[in-house]
Amino acid sequence: MPDSFIQRISQVSHGKRVYIIPTSIGFYFSFIAFVLFLIAISYGHNLAFYCTFLFFSFVSFSAVIANESIKKIEIKPSEEKVLVRNNSFSPLKITVENTSRRSQFDLLIESQGVVVGFIEEIKPLEKKNIYLDMSLLKLPRGVYQLSRLTISTRFPLGLFYSWKYRPINNLLKVLPKPIEGQLHTSTTHDHKTSSAPRITLTTGTEEYVETREHRTGDGVSRVDQKRSMLLGSPQVRTYSDESGFHECLDLRNGDIEDNLSKATYYIENHHSNSSLSLIMPDGFKTIATTGAYHHQYLFEVLSEFKKEKIFLQ
């Protein structure tokens, strides 16, 4: 069969065709209905005809409802990029819309044969935001292009399993599994100038000193007598270390995957306000900045290292 013809079929049926097959219970019911039908035509028994009609009506009703439950459900695609941590909830936000005028129940959202989301009920003409847990896919470290999701249901009676595919375009970046361990670290000085005030623990001035309530274990020398008398409770001085020093993790020595896992654990437990950079196994050095967005950038670097994009159908 020509490739162009196959591609045309896949484009037409990608998000419009509803598939339906009987489950194991559905096979049993269908078999019983068929046996009753054979008895009815063989012996002409009125009760057999009546039971055959009931069973066939029951099975047909279940098949029609299962088909209609999926037919009018739509997923609005998003361009969201998701960092996936296999050890914790990694949400992918999608919008599910019910375009029918009847409520639909017990809808499953699947990817790669794994249920990543569940909708108990969606009302007529309702749009609902759903968060899918992509960590349930248990993907190894790497970059994945998610091109479609599967909407399925066994409603109403579990006799039939119906599903359809909906196109989606999301990039999944799977982090290494975090492992606690030692890494070679070094402290370097950032020579870049900045207009922000820079102070250290030893050179802090009264202008940039902050105070907080005294806690058990705080040194007596840090008590701010003036603020303590003013507020009526012991206060201690705290300083911000913004002298331009940052930590650098060197991942060039040892097992590559092991070092990437240790770096992931280190960053997850590293304060986002502290400056941090990485030296990758190939010698590439990341920039040294602070903040949650920078940590996300470091996570992306770890997940992408020497990995090509894999397309998930």
Residue with the two structure tokens 């819309």: 97
Q: Is 266 a domain residue?
A: yes
Do 24 and 165 have their domain in common?
A: yes
* Distance, CA of 236 to CA of 36 (rounded, Å): 86
Do 205 and 121 have their domain in common?
A: no
Q: Which domain holds residue 97?
A: 1-170
What per-residue confidence (pLDDT) applies to 242?
46
* Distance, CA of 22 to CA of 159 (rounded, Å): 6
Do 265 and 135 have their domain in common?
A: no
Q: 141, 170, 199: which is the final residue of a domain?
A: 170
Do 145 and 196 have their domain in common?
A: no
* Distance, CA of 183 to CA of 273 (rounded, Å): 20
Arithmetic mean of pLDDT, 8-34 = 75
Q: Is 7 a domain residue?
A: yes
Q: Is 179 a domain residue?
A: no
Do 24 and 91 have their domain in common?
A: yes
Peptide bond into 156 cis (omega under 30): yes
Q: Is 312 a domain residue?
A: no
Do 106 and 9 have their domain in common?
A: yes
This prediction has a pTM of 0.70
Residue 197 has pLDDT above 70, yes or no: no
Do 213 and 294 have their domain in common?
A: yes
Q: Is 310 a domain residue?
A: no
Q: How many domains does the chain have?
A: 2
Q: Is 236 a domain residue?
A: yes
* Distance, CA of 131 to CA of 112 (rounded, Å): 17
Give the pair of three-digit tokens for residue 191.
């020579």
pLDDT tens by residue, 129-185: 999 999 999 999 999 999 889 999 998 888 899 999 988 888 999 999 999 888 887
What per-residue confidence (pLDDT) applies to 269?
84
pLDDT band at 117 (very low <50, low <70, confident <90, very high): very high
pLDDT tens by residue, 71-106: 889 988 777 789 999 888 889 999 999 998 889 999
Do 263 and 145 have their domain in common?
A: no
Sign for the pseudo-dihedral over CA of 124, 156, 47, 30:
positive
Do 224 and 191 have their domain in common?
A: yes
Q: Is 178 a domain residue?
A: no
Do 284 and 227 have their domain in common?
A: yes
What per-residue confidence (pLDDT) applies to 175?
94
Q: 115, 144, 170: which is the final residue of a domain?
A: 170
